[in-house]
Chain A
């Protein structure tokens, strides 16, 4: 079952912040974040494996709340290059942990 992402779309001005949420109805083994630019393949941003884990990548960071079965991606001081569609992918306990299911995506548009 696909994880649920919110919001579906967000428009920002350069320098503004954004949060993208990802939640699952099943217990999460891992959460994966990817970004896809228009007409290109998705590209890996980061993976979170443990509940409570937080990671950062430039000014993009993420947290994983295992108890709530959800993760959030934080984009700070957004840049034009952050524009694209962001996908969270999840692998669940109770099944194959390498079965990677993606959400429906969040379209992020950063304007000058």
Chain B
């Protein structure tokens, strides 16, 4: 049982490059989330998806886009990466009470 799988685990981008962070869950959860974690800022919600086919903005959506491809997969895209997007990104899925987090993607934009 893999739970929530994020790829890649580490990535270095140059300013202006684009990339997609992948997230997949095998628990048949309806809700999925993307958070970024920065020192002293906690976990900030970028986008979430309450169910397949729906996505909504969180607290810090600027510079990001998401796709809920199907019930299992929820991807996060950076169209033109900026140094301010250097962070650890967590994907999570939830059905009911408990949210399960992936192991994170450490992204550095230089």
Structural contact, A100 and B94, CB atoms closer than 8 A:
yes
Between B35, B56, B97, B102, the greatest number of chain A beta carbons within 10 A of the residue's beta carbon is seen for: B97
Render B38-59 as a binary contact track against A, CB cut-off 8 A, 1 for contact: 0011111100101000001011
Structural contact, B42 and A41, CB atoms closer than 8 A:
no
Structural contact, B103 and A104, CB atoms closer than 8 A:
no
Structural contact, B99 and A104, CB atoms closer than 8 A:
no
Structural contact, A98 and B50, CB atoms closer than 8 A:
yes
* A102 partner, pick from B40, B43, B102, beta carbons under 8 A: B43
Structural contact, B104 and A41, CB atoms closer than 8 A:
yes
Q: Which residues of B contact A42 (CB under 8 A)?
A: 43, 90, 101
Structural contact, A87 and B102, CB atoms closer than 8 A:
no
A-B contact count (CB 8 A): 57
Q: Which residues of B contact A34 (CB under 8 A)?
A: 99
How many residues of B sit at the interface, in one of the four size bands? Answer: 20 to 34
Render A72-112 as a binary contact track against B, CB cut-off 8 A, 1 for contact: 00000000000000010100000010111111110000000
Structural contact, B50 and A41, CB atoms closer than 8 A:
no
In this assembly, does A25 line the interface, its C-beta being within 8 Å of a C-beta of chain B? no
In this assembly, does B31 line the interface, its C-beta being within 8 Å of a C-beta of chain A? yes
* B58 partner, pick from A40, A99, A105, beta carbons under 8 A: A99
Structural contact, B59 and A101, CB atoms closer than 8 A:
yes
Partner-A contacts on B (CB < 8 A): 31, 33, 35, 40-45, 48, 50, 56, 58-59, 90, 94, 97-104
Partner-B contacts on A (CB < 8 A): 1-2, 5, 32, 34, 40-44, 47, 87, 89, 96, 98-105
